Amino acid sequence: MQISQEQLVRNNTGQQKINYKNEVLSGLTVALALVPEAVAFAFVAGVDPLVGLYAAFIVGLITSAIGGRPGMISGATGALAVVMVSLVATHGIEYLFATVVLMGILQVSAGLLRLGKFVRMIPHPVMLGFVNGLAIVIFLAQLPQFKTITTDGQAASWMEGTSLLLMVGLVLATMAIIYITPKITKAIPAPLAAILIVSLVAIGFSLPTKTVGDLASVSGGLPSFHIPMVPINLETIKVIFPYAMILASIGLIESLMTLQLVDEVTETHGNSNRECMAQGAANIVTGFFGGMGGCAMIGQSMINVNSGGRSRISGISAALFLLTFILFGSSLIEMIPIAALTGVMFMVVIGTFAWSSFRIINKIPKTDAFVLILVSGLTVAFDLAIAVAAGIIVSALVFAWESAVRIRARKYVDDKGVKHYEIFGPLFFGSVKAFNEKFEPVSDPQVVIIDFMESRVTDHSGIEAVSKIAEKYARLGKELHLRHLSADCRAMLKKADYIVDINVMEDPEYGVAMDNPPLA
């Protein structure tokens, strides 16, 4: 996803200048799109719509103000809502508030322990799978908008006839306006222009189409402080802790991966540990003010970035606009056609999905392609935490296997009759078997040197392998020397003196009789 030069206005020092108009208008656009999403996710979790709206306001405000990624939008999300629904159904909403508080504490702890840096270990195929999977999830989340609404705001049967044609027509019109507007003017964010134009047309011509008000009323007061009414005992902890762990994990994974995506789009760098603490602080406050908790939202973040939002102002503006809608502007917001907001989200899907993955799928290693597809599928079928964990595990296993089979040994005997084994590749648990097969203790001469210049002993299994090779040569009355070990390898061997008793030499007197013998 590319950013036009017009969107990046810099001063003479090279620092990005803040375009306040773009920031505020981007915030307004995001706030309009947040309303139906927060309401929909509240329904998914089985709570009142205001619980979702309060979460979107509080989480969005705090993370925008103190988070590690300016321009990223957070709020109530579907990934968290699908986990919350069973807790609410079984134990009630008070337990949800307590769980959100504990979730926040766990996230703050992760930030204090600087666990955010581990997001750098996520392989690129997993990142692509995450992006594609969430794009599909966002797309699927819009499909219920093509259903009729019952009196309690729930989706019923699919639309038919004129109502369906009108809905599709307004969605396509919204998408067309978003596509065309930047070619005409950049004075107003394209999604905001589309929402305003389609809303004016629908209201002006009294078109019989679904509106935000058909989902639920968004009118309410200020969120008030509320201590979760749950027993403070071990039984309560047993109930909420598993949910809190899952929610904290999903929330941080989605937030940190969205942070990475925004980093790539804006060509800037966020602070992952600071974002962990901000997400945690936001959820702690949300739990005490009647919100369902939340995390970063990739769809809303892309709307904000593509609308020109780069600083904290856009996120703070979005949260304040959302609160304004709840307190004063509910009657106007409830008149906005659902089709306009659905069209905006469809454009987000198009802009978020990594279409390049289709082009590269046959050019990258088959294992990477498998991981990409696996993560995409699991994100849609289960949740983000399972998808990312599975992708990382598969990638790690593939890496371990490939590293194991790459270990090689170059063998030769010098003019002094000393046998040399030059090892290539890391020596770790996966490569121990192949390493052991390289040696011929029985037929080797009296003195043997293992050269680790192109290798490293990386774990206990590697030390144990060296120890067992040494024992074999010792039983045969032969000398074994280790050469060119790195400092950390020597330290590992020194700590393992009770295992390894080998002559480690760094500057041997033996000469080389053969140049570049073949690898085995």
Res 11 pLDDT > 50: no
What is 72-112 written as a DSSP string? Answer: --EE--HHHHHHHHHHHHHH-HHHHHHHHHHHHHHHHHHHH
Mean pLDDT calculated for residue range 502-520: 52
Do 292 and 84 meet the contact criterion of CB atoms below 8 Å apart? yes
pLDDT of residue 16: 61
Burial bucket for residue 49 (CB in 10 Å: 0-12, 13-18, 19+): buried
Residue 148 has phi, psi (to 5 degrees) of: -75, 160
Mean pLDDT calculated for residue range 16-24: 86
Mean pLDDT calculated for residue range 31-46: 88
Mean pLDDT calculated for residue range 440-445: 93
pLDDT of residue 15: 53
Residue 82 pLDDT level (bands cut at 50, 70, 90): confident
Query: Which domains does the chain carry?
Result: 19-395 (no CATH), 407-505 (3.30.750.24)
pLDDT of residue 511: 42
What is 461-479 written as a DSSP string? Answer: HHHHHHHHHHHHHHHTT-E
What percentage of residues in the chain have a pLDDT greater than 70?
A: 89
pLDDT of residue 9: 44
Residue 137 pLDDT level (bands cut at 50, 70, 90): confident
pLDDT of residue 327: 95
Q: What would the pLDDT profile of 355-385 be if each residue is shown by its tens digit?
A: 989 989 988 889 999 999 999 999 888 877 7
Higher pLDDT, 37 or 180: 180
Mean pLDDT calculated for residue range 129-149: 87
Mean pLDDT calculated for residue range 408-428: 91
As a whole number of Å, the end-to-end CA separation of the chain is 46
Q: What would the pLDDT profile of 256-280 be if each residue is shown by its tens digit?
A: 999 998 998 888 889 999 999 999 9
Centre a 10 Å sphere on the Cβ of residue 273 and count the other Cβ atoms it contains.
18
Q: What would the pLDDT profile of 455-478 be if each residue is shown by its tens digit?
A: 888 888 888 888 888 888 988 989
Burial bucket for residue 150 (CB in 10 Å: 0-12, 13-18, 19+): exposed
H-helix or E-strand spanning residue 453: strand 447-454
pLDDT of residue 134: 84
Output DSSP code: residue 337.
B
Within 13 Å, how many C-alpha atoms sit on residue 193's CB side? 19
Do 68 and 370 meet the contact criterion of CB atoms below 8 Å apart? no
**What does the mean pLDDT of the chain come to?**
87
